Amino acid sequence: MSDFNAERAIRARRVHGCSWCETEIPKGDLYRRSSGVFEGDIFSLPFHPECAEARDKDHDGDAWCPERHEKGQECRCWE
């Protein structure tokens, strides 16, 4: 569980790698950035909007998952 977590939609000023599907978020695209503190460690993770929605369905907003996913694909690792 996160000690603190905030998420916002922003436009990419440079290329990022999505933390869910590990593919490129191109410069100029809207993406969601999740940031906060987990067990004393600061994190800041970018997600495609559809990947953030897939993550939210299965992980209650928790950004960490042991599996790699396809873009926008819901997680199946907890089944």
**What domains can you pick out in the chain, each with its CATH number?**
4-59 (3.30.1740.10)
Taking the whole predicted model, whether its pTM rises above 0.95 is answered as no
| Selection from 76, 14, 16 nearest residue 44 by Cα | 16
Give the model's confidence band at 5: pLDDT under 50 very low, under 70 low, under 90 confident, else very high: confident
**What's the whole-number mean pLDDT along residues 44-55?**
90
Q: Is the pLDDT reported for residue 25 higher than 80?
A: yes
pLDDT in tens, 28-45: 999 999 998 888 889 899
Residue 37 sits at the vertex; the CA angle it makes with 61 and 70, to the nearest 5 degrees, is 40
